[in-house]
C-alpha cells in the first residue's frame, strides 16, 4: 500500500497536521501530527482505510480483530466487517481496555472471542510501539494466537518492527517524523507554546503543573 493513498485520505479529513509544537502519546515533542480523531467521524473514509487493512491480510487465517480502546474499537469493528465480507465467514471485532496502570486487558467477556483463536491486532498510529505491544501481550496472555499486527501509520519504521513486537507487523503508511524529549526539543528552546488542541499537549502541561506543585 502506497503512502500517498492514506495521506490523501488523512489530508481530506483534516487529520494531517504540520508546523505545530505538539506532544505525542509517548510525551515526546514534534511538529507533525496524525490526528486520527479527525478521521473517525468520516465513516466512508474510515471504512476505506479499514478495507485496506482487511485486503492486506485476506490470505491469513483470522478469526478476530483486536484493537485498543478507544480508536482501536472503530478500527477493529470496520476491519472485521470488511474481512467478514471478503472471506465469507464471520470475523469478530473486539477491543481491550486500558487499566489505571496503563496496561491493556480484556473486559466485557471479550476474552472468550480470543482464546485459542487466530488474531489480527490493529492500531491507528504507532510511535514507539508500546500500545500495540501491550495489546499483543494481552492477546497472548489470553491464549490467543497473534498471526499479524497492523497500524494505519507507523511513525518509526526503524524501531517499530516485527522484531520489537514479536509478531509479523506492517502498516498502511510510514513516516519518520522527528520526536524529541523535552530537554532536546527545539520548539521548547525557542519558547514556542505547546498546542493544546490536538495530541497530548493539554495533558502534558497538566502533568507538569501537578509535578511542580508536588515538588513545592
Question: Closest Cα partner for 129 from 173, 164, 153?
Answer: 164
| Per-residue model confidence (pLDDT) at position 10 | 93
26 or 89, higher pLDDT: 89
Residue 185, pLDDT above cutoff 70? yes
Predicted local confidence at residue 77, as pLDDT: 97
Alpha-carbon distance values, 9 to 2, 160, 164 (Å) = 12, 23, 28
42-56, 90-104, 201-215 — which is least confidently predicted? 201-215
Given a cut of 70, whether residue 102 has pLDDT beyond it is: yes
Q: What pLDDT, on the 0 to 100 scale, is given for residue 1?
A: 44
Tell me what pLDDT residue 2 has: 54
DSSP string over 129-169 = SHHHHHHHHHHHHTT-EEEEEEEEEES-TTTSSHHHHTS-E
Reported as a single tens digit per residue, the pLDDT across 21-60 is 999 877 889 998 888 899 999 999 999 999 999 999 999 9
In this model, does residue 213 exceed pLDDT 90? no
Torsion angle of C-alpha atoms 75, 78, 80, 84, degrees rounded to 10:
-160
Name residues whose C-beta falls within 8 Å of residue 159's C-beta, 6 or more positions apart in sequence: 128, 129
Vertex 84: Cα angle to 71 and 173 (nearest 5): 45
pLDDT of 134 strictly over 90: yes
Length of the chain: 216
pLDDT over 90, % of the chain? 75
The reported pTM is 0.84
**pLDDT of 101 strictly over 70:** yes
Please check whether residue 171 is in contact with residue 153, taking contact to mean a CB–CB distance below 8 angstroms.
yes
Q: Is 54 exposed, middle or buried (0-12, 13-18, 19+ CB in 10 A)?
A: buried
Of the CA atoms within 13 Å of residue 203, those in its CB half-sphere come to 10
We report the CATH number of the domain holding residue 28 as: 3.40.50.2020
Q: Name which of 190, 207, 208, 206 is nearest 21 in CA terms.
A: 190
**pLDDT confidence band for 214 (50 / 70 / 90):** confident
- Which pLDDT score, from 0 to 100, does residue 4 have? 82
The pLDDT score that the predictor gives to residue 216 is 66
Range of the domain at 148: 3-215
149 Cβ partners below 8 Å, 6+ apart?
120, 121, 122, 123, 132, 136, 165, 167, 168, 169, 170
Confidence check: pLDDT of 82 > 90: yes
- Which cell is 127 given? 510511535
Q: How many domains does the chain have?
A: 1
The pLDDT value recorded for residue 24 is 86
pLDDT(109) > 60: yes
User: In the predicted model, what is the mean pLDDT of residues 163-175?
Assistant: 95
The mean per-residue pLDDT over the stretch 75-88 comes to: 98
CA 154 and chain centroid, separation:
9
Q: Give yes or no for a contact between 139 and 119, defined as CB atoms under 8 angstroms apart.
A: yes
pLDDT at 64: 98
pLDDT (0 to 100) of residue 34: 87
Amino acid at each position: 500500500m502506497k503512502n500517498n493513498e492514506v495521506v490523501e485520505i488523512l489530508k481530506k479529513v483534516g487529520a494531517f497536521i504540520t508546523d505545530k509544537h505538539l506532544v505525542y502519546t509517548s510525551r515526546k515533542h514534534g511538529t507533525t501530527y496524525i490526528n486520527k480523531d479527525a478521521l473517525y467521524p468520516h465513516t466512508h473514509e474510515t471504512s476505506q482505510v479499514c478495507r485496506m487493512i482487511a485486503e492486506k491480510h485476506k490470505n491469513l487465517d483470522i478469526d478476530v480483530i483486536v484493537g485498543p480502546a478507544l480508536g482501536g474499537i472503530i478500527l477493529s469493528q470496520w476491519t472485521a466487517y470488511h474481512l467478514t465480507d471478503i472471506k465469507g465467514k464471520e470475523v469478530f471485532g473486539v477491543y481491550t481496555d486500558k487499566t489505571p496502570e496503563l496496561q491493556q486487558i480484556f473486559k466485557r467477556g471479550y476474552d472468550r472471542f480470543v482464546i485459542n483463536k487466530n488474531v489480527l491486532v490493529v492500531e491507528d498510529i504507532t510511535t514507539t510501539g508500546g500500545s500495540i505491544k501491550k495489546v499483543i501481550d494481552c492477546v497472548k496472555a489470553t491464549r490467543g494466537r497473534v498471526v499479524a499486527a497492523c497500524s494505519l501509520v507507523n511513525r518509526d519504521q526503524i524501531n517499530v518492527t516485527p522484531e520489537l513486537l514479536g509478531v509479523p507487523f506492517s502498516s498502511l503508511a510510514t513516516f519518520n517524523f522527528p520526536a524529541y524529549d523535552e530537554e532536546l526539543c527545539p520548539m521548547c528552546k525557542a519558547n514556542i507554546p505547546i498546542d493544546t488542541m490536538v495530541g497530548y499537549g493539554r495533558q502534558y502541561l497538566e502533568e507538569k503543573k501537578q509535578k511542580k506543585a508536588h515538588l513545592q
